[in-house]
Structure 1
Amino acid sequence: MERSTLSSIRRVRRQSTRHQGAHGLLPWLCALVIAAPASLAAKEPPSRDAEAPVLAVMERSTDERKPLMRLTATGAQPLDTHEARLDLRIAYTRSRIWNPATPGYDEVNLRSYHSPGTNPETPFVAPTIVTAPGETVRIRLENQLPQEPDCKPPNVNIPHCFNSTNLHSHGLWVSPTGNSDNVLLTLRPGVTFEYEYNLPADHPAGTYWYHPHLHGSTALQVSSGMAGALLIRGSRLPAPERNGDVDTLLRDLNGQPFHERVLLFQQVAYACRDANGAIKVKKNAAGDVIAWVCDPGEVGSIEGYDQFGFAPGASVDTWVQSGRHTSINGSVLPTFNDVVAGRIERWRMLHAGVRDTISLQLRELRTDHPSIEGLSGAELDSWVTQNCTGPVLTQFEVAADGLTHGQAIEKGQNVLQPGYRSDALVVFPKAGQYCVLDAAAPADGSITNAAEDRQLLGIATARSEGAPPVTDVRAFLTNNLVAASNMFMPTDTRAKVTADLRNGLRLDAFVPHKSIPKSEVTGTQDLVFNIDLDKTPFVYMVDGKPYDPNTARQLVLDDVDEWTLKSTRANHPFHIHVNPFQVVSILDPHGVDVSVTGEPNDPQYANLQGTWKDTLFVKQDYTVVVRTRYQRYIGEYVLHCHILEHEDQGMMQNVRVVLPDGMGGAVGEGHH
């Protein structure tokens, strides 16, 4: 890349998350902080070593400094209790975010997670926790945000208590009660609390994440950057009687896992305000707001819910109006300079934002392109039109929401809604530069319920290490996975795994849950999202009612339900805690099932039938049918829309799982 482009774009460092050490078949791993890119500026600060991601300090029971000992026939031996502990504190963080429209940095003051080893270049980026099935993860969460006066509003669905918090482990199959994944707890400023996630030995390996989930402040805190990846690595091989972890297959012939890249997508909707408390904006000649602005010396922040959704009287979403950019690992317009042509990479992508549908697309960049320095808005989009003109690279998605597919899904455009995760295998076929794009999204396929413009997210530079160009990526990927199967799979499953791979990249031996046939279903559930636009403020509802912390939908342990999900106003990502679900069908308003073929102008539903997820986009007037089992855990948790300001304003419902006799699901105090 030319020097002028390098000076105008941040560098993304390699997200190396190789495990360190092993205990039997379980790798006991260090928690990693995403190595954040060097900052964009005319004069860049000294860069970190791209090969050395920052490590969060996480104590494990195998810690050599102070091991527990057990008595054996040969004497005292180290005892591994399979426990890990991480200290996290929440506090305001002064940082800066690149603004291409200036161009320059905007200073920001954000509520953020901190841990020992937090990257000082992007201190608002949370650490990546890496663990394994069978491990107990303890997170000591200390709320150091400023004290706030009595902040309980007369209506629980009015955003409130912005300095109070809690913690949600999104997608984990763990208990929702006590000090586990309990989002009905409230941690006020000054409170310290230790969460304990007991990962069962059969927990699916995959890509998960964590974020705050206190009703009334969730969107504001997540938008501030309070979100981090949570990776569960597995080393269980498939066997004739059980499935294994896809991690055991996704490795090169030296036995090393495919090069891994963690991509945390966020929309940090910071703003500066005038003397009257209004967001400072820039307008065009017609008087339309075209950007939010911060004057020199001002500090952007996120302190109000006028920074989300639709502003009063506005025809566009505030995120579009703001002119802000989706960041990757805390960096706006990064470059990926550690890409090797002809190498298989595993991209772990997490939509940890609260606004914007991300339609990730990779396209070859013209070799003679001009610099993007100083370009933003329409000029930057024009640059993309003129220069990101090469063929679209194929992504082979092997898992969604942490759950391995029965067959790799081939995607030219990978649509991520808030809360989604996608594990995709990517190959840059030859040396050169590539555009990393958020492609345009149609109005009926976006969370803003309006057509979303294309946006450049970054640029990848692939270098050659002598390998010939890859002309057929599918064949290249198939051959490499077949070779890995023949080398690493056990003899009693090797033939089946290899045959499945040759049969359209099937991954049946690695799906974490058994399919749910109609014959297993014991009951039905119906859910409808809606917004009453005739009231001020708008009323956000599930099943015709805004959130009530004192009521709950009652479900029975070990039942198997078929859910019908609908929305009568706008589009909403449905998310339910604890137990994932399997997609049965997605019917458009004409009754056509688009869960296999997708739609001509919107690929996001294609090939979803039969897949497992924990978050799923429900379009207005569509009928989405899924099935789920309530397994292992009783207690109370929630389902909600993952447009988080919708959740904060009432689009949420408590769920109570009870024992088969209808008892045993104790009701907690709720948020308030």
Structure 2
Amino acid sequence: MNRRQVMGLMAALAGSTALTWPDMAPAQASGSEALLSPPEGTLIGSDDPLAEAYLNALKRIPGFADAEMPPRLFSLASTTRRDANLYGISLTAPGYLDPKATSDAPPVVGPTLEFTRGEVNGVYLTNDMTICGVDHNIVMTSPLSGWRPHGYTTTNLHTHGLHVTPQAPSDDVLLMIRSSADTDPMMIDEPRLYTYRYEMPADHPVGTFWYHPHKHGAVASQVGPGMSGALIVRAQEDAPDFDDLIAAAPYNITEADEEVMVLQTIPYFFTNAEETEGVFYPAGYYFGGIADPSDCYGFTVTEGTATTNPPTTVNGQRVPTLSLAQGQIKRLRLVNATNGQTYVPKLRAVGDAGTLPKLYAIAVDGIALLPQDGGDPDAPYYEIDATLSPETDPTAYWTTAELITLAPGQRLDLLIVGDSPGQFELYGAAKGESPMVVEVDTPNTDTLITVEIGDAAYDVAQQVPPMSLYADAAIQRPEPPALDLASGQLPQATQSLEFKTIGAAFNSSGVPTKPAFLINDQHFDGNLDDPAQIQLYKGDTDVWNLYSTNDGHIFHIHINSFQALARVPYDVENRVYLPPVYYAMPIWRDTIYFDGGPPEGSGDTVFLPGTMVVMASKQVDFTGEFVLHCHNLFHEDSGMMLTVSILDPATGELDPT
């Protein structure tokens, strides 16, 4: 289904029935308590009225009249939480709630959804959001819609990292779902619920993914206050994969050893003198200023530290404690759901604690690592060594830097091994403390969690998997790009993208007054009648050169993951790119960080390129229209996004749904 058909489809759904969610009361979440898991998404049974409503709505979508109930169906209410607890602050802000949940506390983090590959998974999304302040709707045919934040109560749903069709009713981020509270004539024909249907390939990787809104112009105003959640893809019972391999003896790292950790930095304004209550104000986030009480639930708002510099939370908690027995191995599924903060996780001792626990990267962006050429196949893999130097071992340094850097949108699966008792902190390393791909920008150095390792030995014998396990044929990864890297020469790029921030586009308050965030000197085109800004073809391998000439940026592309191959440093003195530094193995990703170079001269108006990323992807299985963009979500909403289409090379058209 193409972009033009989407509009008619949405109008057909506009009259469907919305969901309701139960009244809930706040619960405490302080820094001294144990790490809590996000709530688990509730599966909807086939006899539930929601299931019937979902199926009836799905059958009204062209091409799905004969659709059946998905084996796994979840519901999400895009709503405004009035008493969500954020480390003791009672927060009023947009968020996701599970209408079938029985918890007494509205969670700051959305429920964790578990999809099964090889099956159809469904999400019934409704929208009744309201906001503090006045909304700003802009018709999508207006050039302003491409770069000016707007439409804060309009939403949709993106399954970040999944390899599924971008055509409706799957991962189509060009859909718009209006709020039932929005009576603007411009939006009245848009639907206020949607029946998402994800047909997961049988060979889809198992791993850590996530979901979040993706309505252009309002993504940061919805993800920022906590509207996101983890999405775990599991294998079917008769088709074991990576998770099953490491759960078997002698490794014994099972689901019981997993900890989902969703990182957020939620900004808010205070609404009472005691500073115990807060509200998210979208126009204030984008443009500054203070909301009028008449437009903000009657609140009188004031700025605080958390308005401009909110602390990092993990599952809505400030520095919670993760406890391990001696010898225990935990799998941390880290999801960076912040709008623009980059972390480099590292451990440090507290007090006189003993030997630091070891950390091992086992997967990034939902895909198990590839084994590297050479090295000991029986050695535990992939150990993070924070002492590496780019001068003495550039390959090991940049490989480790790529794996351990956790930029917005990225996921990182770490094993932490409780070798010796003591108290430790997992925190964001500063530059110079660890390998990292952040060179010019500044990483976030907040403490994330406390790790306490007790004296008692764990009652299950566990081992870190060796490198040889990662070569097991049972592990499913995306189809690799068709490249010959044996020559040691980088392949010729088919796509070259320059990301840049235009300083002159900002006013004295730091607000863009014209397009300020560009890719190849273009900003997002929201006009549904225009062709996609980048056109790819099904079956092709594309080699991408990505670089920035101002600011740190985070490239994300939907539908097909890519292999990161190398980084190419820029010689500032001689104005030339140096020889590439190859990773020790291709690293599968869907999101990747790169910096701009330093300013040239004192005017800060001309910047030099930063280190270039070289990656490759193969366009497989699906045609359709989607996007690539910077995953600094303020940048994205301000225009740093392009439409992309994958077409059938024989017809130049999309495959039918």
TM-score above 0.5: yes
Where does residue 376 of structure 1 map in the other structure?
none
- Tell me by how many angstroms 1:406 deviates: 1.1
1:392-411 superposed matches below 5 A? 392-407=356-371, 408-411=381-384
Q: Alignment length, in residue pairs?
A: 522
What root-mean-square deviation, in Å, do the aligned CA atoms of Structure 1 and Structure 2 show?
A: 3.9
C-alpha distance in 2, partners of 1:396/1:256?
13
Where does residue 106 of structure 1 map in the other structure?
89
1:404-483 superposed matches below 5 A? 404-407=368-371, 408-412=381-385, 414-441=404-431, 450-452=441-443, 454-466=445-457, 477-478=463-464, 481=465
Where does residue 624 of structure 1 map in the other structure?
613
C-alpha distance in 2, partners of 1:544/1:52?
42
1:109-508 superposed matches below 5 A? 109-115=92-98, 116-117=100-101, 119-121=103-105, 123-146=107-130, 151-152=137-138, 155-156=144-145, 157-190=147-180, 191-234=192-235, 245-253=241-249, 257=254, 259-272=257-270, 295-296=273-274, 299-304=277-282, 306-307=284-285, 322-337=308-323, 339-366=324-351, 391-407=355-371, 408-412=381-385, 414-441=404-431, 450-452=441-443, 454-466=445-457, 477-478=463-464, 481=465, 500-501=468-469
Q: Is the 8 A contact 1:88 1:113 kept in 2?
A: yes
C-alpha distance in 2, partners of 1:62/1:523?
52
C-alpha distance in 1, partners of 2:656/2:70?
31
Q: Is the 8 A contact 1:406 1:510 kept in 2?
A: no
* 3-state DSSP of counterpart to 2:220: helix
Q: 1:391 to 1:641 in 2, by over 3 A?
A: farther
* 3-state DSSP of counterpart to 2:625: strand
- Tell me by how many angstroms 1:304 deviates: 2.9
Q: Is the 8 A contact 1:356 1:448 kept in 2?
A: no
Where does residue 585 of structure 1 map in the other structure?
566
- Tell me by how many angstroms 1:588 deviates: 1.2
String of CA shifts for 1:339-385, please: whole Å, max 9, x gaps: 22211221111101113211212233225xxxxxxxxxxxxxxxxxx
Where does residue 61 of structure 2 map in the other structure?
none
Q: 1:535 to 1:53 in 2, by over 3 A?
A: closer
Q: 1:97 to 1:326 in 2, by over 3 A?
A: farther
Aligned AA for 1:513?
P
* 3-state DSSP of counterpart to 1:176: coil
C-alpha distance in 1, partners of 2:350/2:472?
33
C-alpha distance in 2, partners of 1:124/1:395?
28
Please say which of residues 611-620 and 443-452 is displaced more in the overlay: 443-452
Aligned AA for 1:325?
P
**TM-score using structure 2 length:** 0.71
Q: Is the 8 A contact 1:146 1:163 kept in 2?
A: yes
Tell which has more relative contact order, 1 or 2 (C-alpha 8 A, sep 6+). Answer: 2
C-alpha distance in 1, partners of 2:439/2:89?
25
C-alpha distance in 1, partners of 2:477/2:196?
25
- Tell me by how many angstroms 1:517 deviates: 4.8
C-alpha distance in 1, partners of 2:227/2:37?
23
Q: 1:218 to 1:656 in 2, by over 3 A?
A: same
String of CA shifts for 1:94-122, please: whole Å, max 9, x gaps: 235556xxxxx332111010112264445
- Tell me by how many angstroms 1:51 deviates: 9.8
String of CA shifts for 1:216-257, please: whole Å, max 9, x gaps: 00011001101111101125789xxxxx62112111539672
Residue 576 (str. 1) matches residue 573 (str. 2)? no
Q: Is the 8 A contact 1:588 1:594 kept in 2?
A: yes
Residue 548 (str. 1) matches residue 525 (str. 2)? yes
* 3-state DSSP of counterpart to 2:243: helix
1:26-105 superposed matches below 5 A? 39-40=28-29, 54-59=39-44, 83-95=71-83, 97=85, 105=88
Is there any run of 5+ residues in structure 2 with no aligned partner, and where?
1-25, 53-67, 181-191, 290-303, 372-380, 387-403, 486-490, 507-511, 572-576, 597-609
Q: 1:616 to 1:350 in 2, by over 3 A?
A: same
Q: 1:305 to 1:614 in 2, by over 3 A?
A: farther
String of CA shifts for 1:505-528, please: whole Å, max 9, x gaps: 766762513543534989711111
* 3-state DSSP of counterpart to 1:645: helix
C-alpha distance in 2, partners of 1:342/1:248?
21
* 3-state DSSP of counterpart to 1:510: coil
Which of the residues 528, 540, 556 maps onto 1:559? 540
- Tell me by how many angstroms 1:394 deviates: 2.5
- Tell me by how many angstroms 1:84 deviates: 1.2
Q: Is the 8 A contact 1:417 1:617 kept in 2?
A: yes
Q: Is the 8 A contact 1:356 1:446 kept in 2?
A: no
Q: 1:659 to 1:38 in 2, by over 3 A?
A: same
Q: Is the 8 A contact 1:436 1:457 kept in 2?
A: yes
C-alpha distance in 1, partners of 2:616/2:262?
29
Where does residue 285 of structure 1 map in the other structure?
none
Where does residue 18 of structure 2 map in the other structure?
none
Aligned AA for 1:500?
S
C-alpha distance in 2, partners of 1:110/1:551?
36
Q: Is the 8 A contact 1:212 1:218 kept in 2?
A: yes
C-alpha distance in 1, partners of 2:592/2:643?
18
Q: Is the 8 A contact 2:357 2:418 kept in 1?
A: yes
Aligned AA for 1:199?
M
Please say which of residues 155-164 and 544-553 is displaced more in the overlay: 544-553
Aligned AA for 2:93?
L
**TM-score using structure 1 length:** 0.69
- Tell me by how many angstroms 1:433 deviates: 1.8
Q: 1:85 to 1:349 in 2, by over 3 A?
A: same
Q: Is the 8 A contact 2:355 2:420 kept in 1?
A: no
C-alpha distance in 1, partners of 2:172/2:634?
20
String of CA shifts for 1:137-169, please: whole Å, max 9, x gaps: 111101011398771165111111111100000
Residue 530 (str. 1) matches residue 492 (str. 2)? no
> Percent same amino acid at aligned positions?
28
Aligned AA for 2:633?
L
Q: Is the 8 A contact 1:97 1:332 kept in 2?
A: no
Q: Is the 8 A contact 2:517 2:640 kept in 1?
A: yes
* 3-state DSSP of counterpart to 2:586: coil
C-alpha distance in 2, partners of 1:576/1:51?
31
* 3-state DSSP of counterpart to 2:89: strand
Aligned AA for 1:163?
T
Aligned AA for 2:350?
L
Q: 1:447 to 1:652 in 2, by over 3 A?
A: farther
- Tell me by how many angstroms 1:420 deviates: 0.6
Q: Is the 8 A contact 1:392 1:412 kept in 2?
A: no
C-alpha distance in 2, partners of 1:54/1:560?
39
- Tell me by how many angstroms 1:59 deviates: 2.3
Q: 1:250 to 1:235 in 2, by over 3 A?
A: farther
Where does residue 76 of structure 1 map in the other structure?
none
- Tell me by how many angstroms 1:661 deviates: 2.4
C-alpha distance in 1, partners of 2:410/2:498?
20
Q: 1:392 to 1:511 in 2, by over 3 A?
A: farther
C-alpha distance in 2, partners of 1:204/1:183?
22
C-alpha distance in 2, partners of 1:454/1:267?
13
Q: 1:236 to 1:523 in 2, by over 3 A?
A: farther
C-alpha distance in 1, partners of 2:558/2:322?
34
Aligned AA for 2:151?
C
Q: Is the 8 A contact 2:37 2:315 kept in 1?
A: no
C-alpha distance in 2, partners of 1:451/1:200?
39
Where does residue 652 of structure 1 map in the other structure?
641
